Amino acid sequence: MTTREGGAAYWKATLGLLWTVMAIWAVVSFGAGIVLADALNSIHIGGYKLGFWFAQQGSIYVFVVLIFWYAARMNKIDREHDVHED
């Protein structure tokens, strides 16, 4: 594989991961926090409605997990394309 082809494959994988992360972020922040809030409010966690809890706390937990998942997946992509740092 030439350098140009390798670079294109690397950026394709990187952009694919980026779009996946952005889609999850949008679904969690907009979907669970706004659109599905009324449906989630029928469930209670610790005395709070799930829609409220998710908008205030749950989305933050998902975002933190998303950061670590992104870093691990990006490291894997870097190693697959031999552009990792040691």
Q: Which residue is listed with tokens 């494959």?
A: 9
Specify the long-range contacts of residues 50-53, CB closer than 8 Å, at least 24 apart.
none
* Distance (Å, whole) CA 5 – CA 85: 21
Q: Give the global pTM.
A: 0.77
Q: Please give the residue range of the domain that contains residue 56.
A: 3-80
Question: How many independent structural domains does the chain possess?
Answer: 1
pLDDT by position in tens, the chain (length 86): 557 777 889 999 999 999 999 999 888 888 877 888 888 889 888 888 888 887 778 888 999 999 999 999 999 999 999 888 87
In a domain, 85, yes or no: no
In a domain, 86, yes or no: no
For the beta carbon of residue 78, count every other beta carbon within 10 angstroms.
Answer: 15
In a domain, 66, yes or no: yes
What confidence score (pLDDT) does residue 1 get?
53
CB 68 within 8 A of CB 79: no
